[in-house]
Amino acid sequence: MSSYCINWLLLLSLMAYSVSSTSDALFAKTHVLIYNDIGTGTQLAVHCKSKDDDLGLYVLVYRQSYEFSFHRDFFLKTLFFCNMQWNGTVYRFDIYNQKRDDYRCGDRCEWNVHGDGACMLNPQTSKFDICYGWNT
């Protein structure tokens, strides 16, 4: 084997080791929790997707939650959006936009869904006070 090939193998091995030793920080798994806060007796149908994944349809009764997890993109491009339906109306919301949410919630994003949109749990106040309306 030529010294050129050996050098490339050594470089690739070093890169793989450095990525694996920092993988917890760079490629940490993010958990998203969605709570139905629409109102007593109202079921919330949640169907979340990304560019690559369809997470399926889940129906939540009032105060029930749904959780999913994923690995964030190194280039801050991770996006999950959800169609949410109750009382015959469908709403759309970007439940995880890495550029918006990565610094706010890190590896755990919790959302309360209500009639006007969704509110994220603020780790600084421990309240659901970071609120957004539905996507247009």
For 75, 78, 116, 131, 136, the CA distances from 99, given in Å and listed in that order, are 9, 8, 23, 16, 19
Assess if residue 116 is contained within a domain: yes
Assess if residue 90 is contained within a domain: yes
pLDDT in tens, the chain (136 residues): 666 555 555 444 444 444 443 445 556 799 999 999 999 999 999 999 999 999 999 999 999 999 999 998 888 899 999 999 999 999 999 999 999 998 898 899 999 999 999 999 999 999 999 999 999 8
We report the CATH number of the domain holding residue 71 as: 2.60.40.10
Assess if residue 62 is contained within a domain: yes
Q: Which domain holds residue 76?
A: 26-133
Assess if residue 18 is contained within a domain: no
> What is the domain count for the chain?
1
Assess if residue 4 is contained within a domain: no
How does strand 79-86 pair with strand 44-49? antiparallel
